[in-house]
Amino acid sequence: MRAPTQLTDGQSLDLLIEKVISQCKLFEGNNPLKTNTVLQLKDKRIAFKTV
């Protein structure tokens, strides 16, 4: 993830996130929630991985 010191006008944090890594246990076996999260992040071109 890039870490700018200041956002420019019109720039939002979701433009800066490139990858999300999460623990599997956060989803507590809720596969629809995990699938929805993966699809939403994919739409924003953000890589998602669980460990």
Six token digits for residue 22: 């999460």
Confidence of residue 19 (pLDDT cuts 50, 70, 90): very high
| pLDDT tens by residue, 34-44 | 999 999 999 98
Summarised one tens digit per residue, pLDDT across range 20-35 is: 999 989 989 899 999 9
* Mean pLDDT for all residues in the chain: 81
> Residue 36's pLDDT is what?
94
Residue-range domain boundaries for the chain: 14-50
Block residue for tokens 């939403």: 40
Following DSSP, what letter does each residue of 2-48 receive, concatenated? ---SSPPTT--GGGT--EEEE-GGGGTT-HHHHHHHHHHHHHTT-EE
State the DSSP H helix or E strand holding residue 50, giving kind and residue range, or none if neither.
strand 47-50
The answer to pTM > 0.85 is: no
What whole-number distance in Å separates Cα of residue 48 and Cα of residue 42?
Answer: 8
